[in-house]
Structure 1
Amino acid sequence: MNISTVSKPHERLAEILSGEMDAVNDLIRTRMASEHAPRIPEVTAHLVEAGGKRLRPMLTLAAARLFDYAGDHHLRLAATVEFIHTATLLHDDVVDESAQRRGRPTANLLWDNKSSVLVGDYLFSRSFQLMVETGSLRVLDILANASATIAEGEVLQMTAATDLGTDEAIYLQVVRGKTAALFSAATEVGGVIAQASEAQVKALFDYGDALGIAFQIADDLLDYQGDSKATGKNVGDDFRERKLTLPVIKAVAQATPEERAFWQRTIGRGRQESGDLETALGLMGKYGTLAATRKDALGWANKAKASLGILPDHEIRTLLSDLADFVVARLS
């Protein structure tokens, strides 16, 4: 192999796993086809071909490679993980009434809500067909549980998003649902299919769980202090959309009655006025909640790295550790 010219850990992972990822992409294209409903591949291709990092399926391949897995079931599982992820994005964009995803118009905008929901359902069905082909009930159990956790997290987020009673424990539950559940399932099934030991499978689960949480906390923090060009989001989008994320939850927990009334008006009731974002940022600054949120993200990244200790000494393990650093490096 030529000396790598890429420096980001997910890009190095993509380089090392390129042959297997090509096979996964072929499998995705084959399985998203539909003989009777051409709209299915149209809608799916719009999202699948949008140029995402494919991080979740790569985690499955990486976990299997750690244990020198020689079969091909990990390809089916990686495609399964990507289908579940794509299905949830299609559904999320309908629920959130989103108009843009990865810098492109969303499927529900280009087609309609019905198409997005039904194609998402089709992808969930396809993902279960792929799981069954591995012949592993354990794998089916892990991914079915992850699918249920994702749906549960979305419903919880819908009810908790504008409720000032939402605390850090509920926030963590939402994050486990919307992000960490699929990360942890992706790494766990890679270890299971490669017949890793129980302790190693647990370590892979713990890594994916902590990585997903660090990733989401970092994302929520960048909404308030990120570079719009780098993140693709405007600073304060979450505030304008009345999302109770960790920096705000921490500020609400310490708020005076007057400050709580501000949060109730802007987030709880959605009555926002000019200058409210600046006030919100001022309150977060007053209580140091952005710095505290950053500390939490770094803590979860360190947990992810620590869980790798009992895994085989391997180039992949080093990259997984680097990946945990990378998801929070954006915060420095």
Structure 2
Amino acid sequence: MKRFEWRDKIRTLDAEEDYEEIVRILSTREFPWDIEQALGLALYRTYAVPSIGELLGGTREFTARPQHRYDDTVLILNDILEHGFEPGRGRDALRRMNQMHRSYDISNDDYRYVLSTFVVMPVRWLNDYGYGWRRLSDHEIAASTNYYRKLGRHMGIKDIPETYEEFRELMDSYEAEHFAYTEGGRAVSDATLDLMVDFYPAWQRPLVRPFTKGLLDDSLIRAFRYPEPSAFWRRAGDVALKARAKVVRRMRPREEPKWARSSSNVRSYPDGYHPSRIGTFPKGCPIPHDMLTREVPGTGAHVPAPGQAVAPATSDPSGDATTDAR
């Protein structure tokens, strides 16, 4: 297989119709490591928005059980990407994500901002920062934008931007207006950095923390009130990642997909998992998590199995009944 064969394959696909397939190729064959890093940085940025950082800090989930929260996020997003939005495992993962979000009072503006980070940060990492072994094309950026627009619609987000440029403007303006220090945001940031350091061998950990902080832009450093990284670590991170990109460019293309669920950093479910059973289940959540359900033939919807109590119906943008928690 030739180095640019996947790129050439993507060129034959339609960014308006085949965007799920394009994003799968980009995320699991062309740039699996890079997109994982970029999406991790995307989520990390959201902690600097006070309403988000304080909410996450208040749940204590991200500070007391950061490995579980990391794994749940990775696995749910992986299942949506791998299995799609239609009824099945991907829809189950989408439903689980929506159930968790609805347990909290989250504004549509915050939802739109978080979605914008997922659209923008992979492009910034690969193209603007120069850390990709090749640049994303406008065709690929459009497909990725369409993918996350669809995800946003299934999440019930309103007023979703239509183009990458609109997402970029939204993200930059929202951060300029809202980034600020909060104790909750700082606590979640510290816990996330500790987790990231723990992913590496013990002998590397003293270097990983300053290396990682060197990759954070000034707005994040100020929002979390971290000491300004030294010029050495700023330069070291940039040089190392650009050098890696040059090495990867000369490697053989990945023929088999690398799914995030196979990452060695995902550690919470060694015996397997089902997306409907992972994540947080806040007290007072109306979803009956141990309910047995059956599928209605031809609809993709699930209803309580015989003998099960019926929970109050709620609206679900994913298109399935929220009583499904198999």
Whichever structure has more helix as a proportion of its residues is 1
- Select the structure with the greater relative contact order (CA < 8 A; seq sep ≥ 6): 2
